[in-house]
Structure 1
């Protein structure tokens, strides 16, 4: 399956208990809805899992995945990201985006000057930050993904128009 047709919807944090349950972190807007998008696949597409949410736990859920029957099976999946086909996910409102759609977009300032390219989308609890790779450098800049700092996202043209806070992109 093409990577652009799959969206990362969760990650496995390792075993939860001794009976094969996993710690599941959901990246979906409604966290429990992750089970609705199953079967979920591993990053390489080699494994497929049905998902049953058992109960909420700190920072996620205890869940059962098909084919995972022991603590050792669950621990072997620690750090694995889980993907769902894009067509199983809900359509988003015009002002919301899947992170996968933002990665790789060019970032231009309001005057058309290239600021870089989106390398990743980070979220450390408050709001999303676009990690922008600065051209000709290994440096990245964290751009707040707010309407003020990012007034335009044009997926069709493959670009973001940014109005970053003063000094953010100054070397």
Structure 2
């Protein structure tokens, strides 16, 4: 069952023009589907493609100074606002902090990051001793996962 922790969908990377528009780096497929961010503190009025990312206008940002002050602001929505997933799909936020165990039940650690270097998602697992290892999020390496844990295949559990 997903929690309602905030999920970052974009980040403000700078101001655009003098009327309060901001440039965004977007992490979501359809940011325009959301109108309110950061617990309702920001209301999206418009979104369009820009030269270096997307250009957005928020009702609460009236001028360039306000837009510049937003640099680095993450745009978040509650996890429950995200669309439902299909079989075998997951959101990165749902994998973070899950217990990682081997196929024989040995505790391996916790998932601390989910990265993608172009060939698919990679889980970073931190062992109880602080050492870390990485596992590709593919069925041969992670044969099973649910809301409570990720099972890592023996061949990958040695990390």
TM-score range, shorter chain: 0.7 to 0.9
Distance 2:117 2:67 in 1: 26
Relative distance call for 1:56 and 1:93 in structure 2 (3 A) is farther
User: What is the match of residue 12 of structure 1?
Assistant: 12
User: What is the match of residue 162 of structure 1?
Assistant: 152
Distance 1:16 1:54 in 2: 12
Per the normalisation by structure 1, the TM-score is: 0.78
Distance 1:39 1:148 in 2: 39
Contact 1:15 1:75 survives alignment (8 Å) = yes
Relative distance call for 1:89 and 1:140 in structure 2 (3 A) is same
Count matched residues.
157
SS in 2 for 1:149: coil
1:34-84 Cα offsets, whole Å, 9 max, x none, are 12122111xxx48333242122434x3111122122232222222221112
Distance 1:67 1:27 in 2: 22
Gaps of 5+ in 1: none
Within the alignment, does 1:141 sit opposite 2:143 as a pair? Answer: no
Of 18, 27, 36 in structure 2, the residue corresponding to residue 39 of structure 1 is: 36
Gaps of 5+ in 2: none
Distance 2:89 2:66 in 1: 36
Distance 1:89 1:166 in 2: 31
SS in 1 for 2:3: helix
Within the alignment, does 1:131 sit opposite 2:124 as a pair? Answer: yes
Per the normalisation by structure 2, the TM-score is: 0.83
